[in-house]
Structure 1
Amino acid sequence: MSTLAAGATTVEPHHPGTAARLNRLRAAVLGANDGIVSVAGVVVGVAGATSDRPALAIAGVAALTAGALSMAVGEYVSVSSQRDSERALLDLERRELAESPEEELEELVDLHRASGLSPELARAVAVEQTAHDALRAHARVELGIDPDELVDPGHAALASFAAFVVGGLLPLVAVLVTPVAARVPVTFLAVLVALALTGASSARLGGAPRRPAVVRNLVGGSLAMGITYGVGTLVGLAV
């Protein structure tokens, strides 16, 4: 809350689902980051072994497709497991409320007291919450779950797929449209700029300092591209 003038205040707005939206945005940024690093590593490694454009295109498209599908499947499985766990916890809480409502009320009172409320206020809040919607109260206070915002594995998989593709297209396009002599340095530069942006974006979404996030991204991306380029060069010389 911030003061505007004497006696006038404004309250920072809090909208339902803000945390979930921020988590989806953060996942999208990280997915794009994975796409950038993964595809860049492949195309730069292949560029170290050959200057053949069709070979680079095949390797890049294969890496982009496999990586995006892997991200989507992994996210779907992970989020489905999380949703199943949330549903199981809600079902258990629903049974407990039906079988022992008084014990559940006392449990809610204790949780409010543990959060710093006085015993009298904790009981008044718990009683009012129970009368309004007991399951929702226990889900939020006891389990940390919002019954209206259970995770959606389909949305998560689609977002991860799209983010990976968007991120991976950058190094693929850069390595294919650049002349052979400048192909690797231009791709390196484009990838580093993109990684700096994703690092800054992820830090901003998480409320963290930007510089460490950007530096981590740049160092990690540089190592990935440098190592794969070196390996590709050695393999190209060997074969």
Structure 2
Amino acid sequence: MTEPTDDEAHDEAHGGALGSRLNWLRAAVLGANDGIVSTAGLVVGVAGATDDRAALLTAGLAGLLAGSMSMAAGEYVSVSTQRDSEKAALAAEKRELRERPEAELAELAQLLEERGLSSQVAREAAEQLTARDALRAHARVELGIDPDELTDPWHAAWASFLAFTAGALLPLLAIVLPPPDWRVPVTVVSVLASLVLTGWSSARLGAARPGRAVVRNVAGGALAMGVTYAVGTLLGAAGV
């Protein structure tokens, strides 16, 4: 059996890195989308009750900060839990490799065989991978983990914070900058246009058809703004 060439190894590493980058981009797009929809719903609802610029700015900033901090905290906790689980799995695998190396070698060969290699080739591949780096081989083949690419929870938290903030700034600026009579129309048009972009981007990054994703995204955002504006208008009319 021939060992993988340097070019093949590079392609495999490049493919893994590309997949990781696409996941980060998709998360950033979805974070920005959340910022757009949640902040737009908030400021449009307040605009239904009052046209006071200070009240709109205060509500928008409060929503932006609360949402971005919540997203960051949630992402940090989620990724930290995932990272802890991955570390525990790697530690258990390292212990098993130390205590029963032959059984782990046979297990790796079986996993490779299940992926389409013949018994002999799978055994040879398992032996070569084990000789090179047993833990890394088992981590990738058995656990689906790359020990060199464990996600940093702080990076994930900052990425979520920045993505949400970037998305939330659009409806916030759209509601406070125009004259009073233009605030809601400008915000609605700006938000719907941006939701078309984020819906299309998320679909393309996920290798899906963008049509349905765009429609769902725009419909959800329009519904959120419509409901909050109606509630705000009713509360404003009631003097609440």
TM-score range, shorter chain: over 0.9
Offset of residue 12 of structure 1: 10
- Is 1:87 the counterpart of 2:87? The answer is yes
Compared CA separation, residues 109 and 12, structure 1 to 2 (3 A): closer
1:104 is aligned to 104
Offset of residue 14 of structure 1: 3.2
Identity of aligned pairs, percent?
65
- What is the SS of the residue equivalent to 1:57? helix
2:158 is aligned to 158
Compared CA separation, residues 137 and 12, structure 1 to 2 (3 A): closer
1:4 is aligned to none
Whole-Å separation in 2 of the counterparts to 1:12 and 1:144? 14
* More deviation, 204-213/26-35: 204-213
1:150-207 alpha-carbon deviations (Å, 9 max, x no partner) = 0110000000000011000000000111111121111000000101111111111111
1:6 is aligned to none
Whole-Å separation in 2 of the counterparts to 1:86 and 1:18? 21
Whole-Å separation in 2 of the counterparts to 1:116 and 1:14? 23
Letter in 2 for 1:125: A
2:45 is aligned to 45
Compared CA separation, residues 196 and 12, structure 1 to 2 (3 A): farther
2:184 is aligned to 184
Whole-Å separation in 2 of the counterparts to 1:235 and 1:127? 72
Whole-Å separation in 2 of the counterparts to 1:124 and 1:12? 20
Letter in 1 for 2:141: V
Whole-Å separation in 2 of the counterparts to 1:33 and 1:222? 13
2:130 is aligned to 130
1:172 is aligned to 172
1:193 is aligned to 193
Offset of residue 20 of structure 1: 1.5
- Is 1:221 the counterpart of 2:221? The answer is yes
Compared CA separation, residues 170 and 79, structure 1 to 2 (3 A): same
- What is the SS of the residue equivalent to 1:45? helix
RMSD after superposition: 1.3
Offset of residue 15 of structure 1: 4.6
Whole-Å separation in 2 of the counterparts to 1:130 and 1:199? 44
Offset of residue 129 of structure 1: 0.5
**1:28-43 to 2 correspondences below 5 Å:** 28-43=28-43
Unmatched runs of 5 consecutive residues or more in structure 1: 1-10
Offset of residue 60 of structure 1: 0.4
1:84-112 alpha-carbon deviations (Å, 9 max, x no partner) = 00000000000000000000001001101
* More deviation, 198-207/85-94: 198-207
Paired residue total: 229
Letter in 1 for 2:23: N
TM-score, normalization by structure 1:
0.93
Whole-Å separation in 2 of the counterparts to 1:208 and 1:107? 36
Whole-Å separation in 2 of the counterparts to 1:44 and 1:130? 60
Whole-Å separation in 1 of the counterparts to 2:19 and 2:138? 19
Letter in 1 for 2:81: S
Letter in 1 for 2:130: T
TM-score, normalization by structure 2:
0.93
